[in-house]
Structure 1
Amino acid sequence: MTPPPPPSDITAIDRALVPSGLRVMGAFHPTAANAPSSLTTVRTIVLIGNGGAAFWPIFTARRREEDDALDRWTRRVITPLAAAFNAEAFFPFDGPPYFPFQRWAVTANCAAPSPIGTLIHPRFGPWHAYRGALGFAQRLTISPPSAPLTTCRDCAAKPCLSACPVNAFAAEAYDDDACARHLKTDDGHDCLNEGCRARRACPVGKEHRYASAQAAFHMRAFLRTRREDAD
């Protein structure tokens, strides 16, 4: 069977993602400097993720009762899409070694690092994530990168730095131990059920903030990962 042709432009991928609530977050042409050596045949990487919470009700309606429910649902969405566009699917949860999705997002000019390490999108702020990617053997046409993102640099108040109740972001690196300990206390219920206070303090994209159910899902997933790492 003749393989399907690649999309004429990346907007075709975006249209195909509409039923899932996911979207194309950006794209770039990989080089030896920004992609693993295993991707030498890939000439275009298209990042797929959620901007805001649009995908959440779709996921909750279609999720299955299984471990790693979001990862498995993501795979069920993106894998057939890759086949339809004659591309290879990549996921941030496959590994080790893991694909450098955060670095790819910066390379694609989707987002820029914030003072607390979270990537900030110019529209969605901290309320976005990268769920997968499509790799094409062809060099697809992509929009040229816009001007460098300056959202955090232009934020004088930087409320994210003072919002954490346990100062998990006070040092050079994120203190995930302090964060996890806090989430297990009565005082940590706000962060556990509503999401990270430092993240919520960001003024960018507030209208795209995750609802309580989605925030709690991700915070509990973080705690489960911590327990699995300790085992």
Structure 2
Amino acid sequence: MTAPAATADKIVEMIRAALAPHGLFLRGTVNFPSAEAAPLLADGRPAASVVLTGNIGGSLWPPFGAWRDGMPDRGGADPLDTWSKTVIQPVAESVGATCFFPSDPPWQPFQQWAMQAEGLKPSPLGILIHPRFGLWHGYRGALGFDRPLPETGERAAEHPCDRCTAKPCMSACPANALAEERFEVGLCRGHLRSEAGRAGCLSAGCLSRAACPVGSDSRYSEGQLRFHMAALSL
């Protein structure tokens, strides 16, 4: 149970302060209108709200890199997921919350939560596009509470793809994985395993993602791009 002395606003500030050194931000709040729409907390009750946490641009990359460099096995098979849990779980425990992670069953609708919390929509790549950060952001976990919490993110006023007529993300894909305005992950992975793919997207990052002009100043570093592309190619 959340400590009675901690107000909802205080809880939000505690989470924000605890996540900041790790390059993670509060990415929005979802307050559930009914128990049927809510995930279950650790004690079996339906959550009243979830607070999304994640990165903006490459904000998490330096803290994550320092952590991984200090691990004997470089963080194991899924180092970013492991690091996220290492960081977020203690924060959740400190405020009496239940953690939810995109990598763990029962699978939670993170994309739907993000669309509801921040008003975002999917790009042709399937990644939610943000009007300021473009395709350079992510969600690393969520904290579930037994009480409603105030808004913690900013809501998008428009969807950048709606006013984009050139669609450079689609024409830039060397695997034609976006030919039907739907991301075909099989075509993408097949290309990444080819000689051309290893020399291109796998080493420099997704060409389609880079072609989007929105949020270009939030673009990931080369090391982070290679990390994510290597994970996608598996």
Question: TM-score, normalised on structure 1?
Answer: 0.87
Structure-2 change in CA distance of 1:2 and 1:182 (3 Å):
closer
1:220 has 2:230 as partner: yes
Structure 1 unaligned residues grouped into runs of 5+? 225-231
**Post-superposition offset of 1:110:** 5.0
- How many Å separate the matches in 1 of 2:78 and 2:168? 32
Tell me if the contact between 2:177 and 2:187 (Cα under 8 Å) persists in the aligned partners. Answer: yes
SS of the residue corresponding to residue 166 of structure 1 reads coil
**Stretch of structure 1 that moved more, 1-10 or 134-143:** 1-10
Structure-2 change in CA distance of 1:144 and 1:160 (3 Å):
closer
Give matches, 1:135-146, under 5 Å: 135-142=144-151, 146=155
- How many Å separate the matches in 1 of 2:216 and 2:50? 29
Structure-2 change in CA distance of 1:7 and 1:168 (3 Å):
same
Tell me if the contact between 2:124 and 2:182 (Cα under 8 Å) persists in the aligned partners. Answer: no
| Structure 2 counterpart of 1:177 | 186
Match of 1:191 among 188, 191, 201: 201
- How many Å separate the matches in 1 of 2:36 and 2:137? 22
Match of 1:49 among 26, 35, 54: 54
Matched to 1:161, the amino acid is: M
Structure-2 change in CA distance of 1:121 and 1:33 (3 Å):
farther
**Post-superposition offset of 1:152:** 1.2
Structure-2 change in CA distance of 1:186 and 1:110 (3 Å):
same
User: Which string of whole-angstrom CA distances, capped at 9 and with x for unpartnered residues, describes residues 155-208 of structure 1?
Assistant: 222211111012101125322111111111221121001211111111111111
Tell me if the contact between 1:34 and 1:104 (Cα under 8 Å) persists in the aligned partners. Answer: no
- How many Å separate the matches in 2 of 1:136 and 1:204? 34
- How many Å separate the matches in 1 of 2:153 and 2:52? 15
User: Which string of whole-angstrom CA distances, capped at 9 and with x for unpartnered residues, describes residues 28-64 of structure 1?
Assistant: 1123598455365211111001110011011010123
SS of the residue corresponding to residue 107 of structure 2 reads coil
Tell me if the contact between 1:7 and 1:85 (Cα under 8 Å) persists in the aligned partners. Answer: no
Structure-2 change in CA distance of 1:110 and 1:61 (3 Å):
farther
Tell me if the contact between 1:47 and 1:134 (Cα under 8 Å) persists in the aligned partners. Answer: yes
| Structure 2 counterpart of 1:73 | 83
SS of the residue corresponding to residue 215 of structure 1 reads helix
- RMSD, aligned CA: 2.4
Give the total of aligned pairs: 223
| Structure 1 counterpart of 2:30 | 28
- How many Å separate the matches in 1 of 2:137 and 2:183? 19
Match of 2:215 among 205, 220, 227: 205
Matched to 2:223, the amino acid is: A
| Structure 2 counterpart of 1:107 | 116
Question: TM-score, normalised on structure 2?
Answer: 0.86
Match of 2:140 among 131, 136, 158: 131
- How many Å separate the matches in 2 of 1:165 and 1:181? 11
